[in-house]
Amino acid sequence: MTDKITLHGLGFVQVQLQGNQRLHVWHPELPRRACFKHSAIHDHRFNFTSRVIVGKQINHCFELERCDDGGFVLYLHEGARTPGGGRPWTPDGRAHLIPDGVITVEAGNDYNTRAYHYHRTEPGGDGRVATIMAKRGEYPDGAHSTCTYGVQPDTDFDRYQWSPSQLWEIVTDVMLGQRLTP
């Protein structure tokens, strides 16, 4: 992404920082892609270290087992960005996703994720969480999202549906602990 601040379909604001870093900010009022409950498990094409700076982050890890009758469809994300800011969702087989642990990370602590390892991240507590994520090496093959077999993925999530000023208000709310006005 070249945009400074955008939404992400997994329910957070993404701010591009220098040094291959991103600020990710979760807030309970943020929109998510329509199929979120069925498509939150994903991988990345890069290793990363993430430091929780506000709240607590809960990471659910999964092992992937490719098979023709798996409960999840894999979708490869490669190619040019769509008008809504996402990448294409190209079906890439089916798989079982086997739970492989849950890690809760409190503010002030780091966690590491390796490229192509599947996980689902959720904010703990009141849903207000901020992390600084730093990429640690990038690989050529695209990343994947998964979606429960039989559920249509939300390929049209619009990362630009909220203005930058609305997104900065969310960032301020989480970072400074100032609650939004109704």
Q: Do residues 45 and 116 lie in contact, with contact meaning Cβ atoms separated by under 8 Å?
A: yes
The superfamily (CATH) of domain 5-156+163-176 is Jelly Rolls (2.60.120.10)
Mean predicted confidence (pLDDT) in 123-140: 95
Residue extents of the structural domains in the chain: 5-156+163-176
Residue 41 has φ and ψ, to the nearest 5°, of: -80, 130
pLDDT at 182: 46
Of the chain, the percentage scoring pLDDT greater than 90 comes to 87
pTM of the model: 0.91
pLDDT digits (tens, 9 = 90+) for 36-77: 999 999 999 999 999 999 999 999 999 999 999 999 999 999
pLDDT digits (tens, 9 = 90+) for 78-121: 888 888 888 889 999 999 999 999 999 999 999 999 999 999 99
Q: Which residues contact 107 (CB under 8 A, 6 or more apart)?
A: 52, 53, 54, 55, 56
Residue 127 has pLDDT above 60, yes or no: yes
Radius of gyration of the chain (CA): 16
141 burial class (0-12, 13-18, 19+ CB within 10 angstroms)?
Answer: exposed
